[in-house]
Structure formats: C-alpha cells, structure tokens
A and B are shown apart, each in its own frame.
Chain A
Amino acid sequence: IAGITQAPTSQILAAGRRMTLRCTQDMRHNAMYWYRQDLGLGLRLIHYSNTAGTTGKGEVPDGYSVSRANTDDFPLTLASAVPSQTSVYFCASSEVPNTEAFFGQGTRLTVV
C-alpha cells in the first residue's frame, strides 16, 4: 500500500540521548517535511527537503538535523534530546512543494 510511514510510533527517551526518527515514503514524492505538534501551537515546521540532496530549515530547527540521501527517506535526528523536545512529530511528503501533503501517522516522543 502506497503511503508514508514513520518509526517508532512512540518513544520515551532520556535527556541527553541521541535519537533518530525514521520516515519513508513510496509515492516518489520530491518534497518531504518534518513538523512538530504541540498543544495550542499547531504544526510547526522543523526542516524540509524540496528534492533529494537538498534540505532547508523551518521555523524551529534548533536541536534537530536531517538528511535526504535519496527520494524515499527523510530521517530526523535529535543530537542530544532535551525535555522541550517532548512532542508529537509528523513527517509529510508532497509530489512537489505546495501541493497536497500526505502525513505519516506520527511519532510521540517523550524526553525525560
């Protein structure tokens, strides 16, 4: 079934640890995005990639890094987790920028 998947679905992480959230899509979409969702703050863009090999910073990039080595995968890395990074993280993709975005099921991350 075509779509976009994230792993893990939830994680409890000790502060200071490194963590990579995985995102894979099989729709051959060029653009991919990482958002975090916090109550009352909506969906805030962390990083994005308009095409394989390129990335850009969003509204809240500090403490996060991404890579886009190929079309399908867009991992998000927290180098040293802090409690303020507790959130629900959504990966999304679109055929090209500014067309319908398809979201993954989300990763609920708790940093303690």
Chain B
Amino acid sequence: GENVEQHPSTLSVQEGDSAVIKCTYSDSASNYFPWYKQELGKRPQLIIDIRSNVGEKKDQRIAVTLNKTAKHFSLHITETQPEDSAVYFCSGGSGNTPLVFGKGTRLSVIA
C-alpha cells in the first residue's frame, strides 16, 4: 500500500520568511495529493491539492509542486504570518484507495 513520508516534523520561521514542507510517496499509482492544515484544537481542513496531471498549483501565498518521477511533492508558504502557525499534513491516494497521511509538520511562525 501507499506510504507517505513527511519532513520536517517541526519547522520554525521568522514572520515574512518562506516555509517549505516536503513529502515523498511510494505508490506510483497515486494521483491525488491534498494538503491539510490543522490549527490547535481544531479539525484538519484542506488548504490546497494537486493532481498528477499538473506540476505546480498556486493559491495566493501557498503553492504545491509535484515531481512524479521522483515521487515527491512539496508545500511552499511565502510571506509567512503568525496565523500560518499550525500542523500541516500531506497526503496521497488514488482510485478507491483512501488517502494516506504523512505524520505532520508543526509550523511555528515567530513574530
């Protein structure tokens, strides 16, 4: 089955700097890669997703890149703000197989 590895487990950045979180996956059949943000005490919520037919997707300060050959994908957050502080989860899946999540990255944005 699919295995998703996520790095780093914790990340601290200064406000205004960029943050990058990286994930790898094992199943070459995986074609859907969503990212979820979980604020303290809240439920995970989708922030951006990408399908395997594109290499990059942007939404304001957030972008995701996908390298199918290397089987890795990354989340990029630019101009970080304190409200970006949260746990971020990458995930991957395909067909009728449920999403498999990485172990999460705790991002702290220091004002």
Binds A, one of B11-19, B61-69, B76-84, B87-95: B87-95
B43, A42: Cβ atoms closer than 8 Å: no
Query: Which secondary structure dominates chain B's binding surface?
Result: strand
A98, B95: Cβ atoms closer than 8 Å: yes
Whether A41 is near chain B, meaning CB under 8 Å from some CB there, is yes
Per-residue contact bits, chain B 95-108, to A (CB 8 Å; 1 contact, 0 not)? 11111111110000
Query: Which secondary structure dominates chain A's binding surface?
Result: loop
Report Cα–Cα, A106/B43, bound state, in Å: 7
The number of chain A residues touching the other chain, given as a range, is 20 to 34
- Of the candidates B6, B31, B43, B93, the one having the most CB atoms from chain A within 10 angstroms of its own CB is B43
B98, A48: Cβ atoms closer than 8 Å: yes
B30 to chain A, nearest CB (A): 9
Nearest residue (CB) in B for A91 is B43
Nearest residue (CB) in B for A104 is B43
Per-residue contact bits, chain B 38-64, to A (CB 8 Å; 1 contact, 0 not)? 000011111001000000000000000
- 3 closest pairs, A vs B, by CB? A42-B103, A103-B43, A43-B101
CB<8 Å pairs between A and B, sample of 26: A31-B98, A33-B98, A42-B101, A42-B103, A42-B104, A43-B101, A44-B101, A45-B99, A45-B100, A50-B96, A58-B98, A59-B100, A90-B44, A97-B95, A97-B96, A98-B32, A98-B96, A98-B97, A98-B99, A100-B34, A100-B46, A101-B36, A101-B46, A105-B42, A105-B43, A106-B43
Q: B-contacting residues of A (Cβ < 8 Å)?
A: 31, 33, 35, 40-45, 48, 50, 56, 58-59, 90, 97-101, 103-106
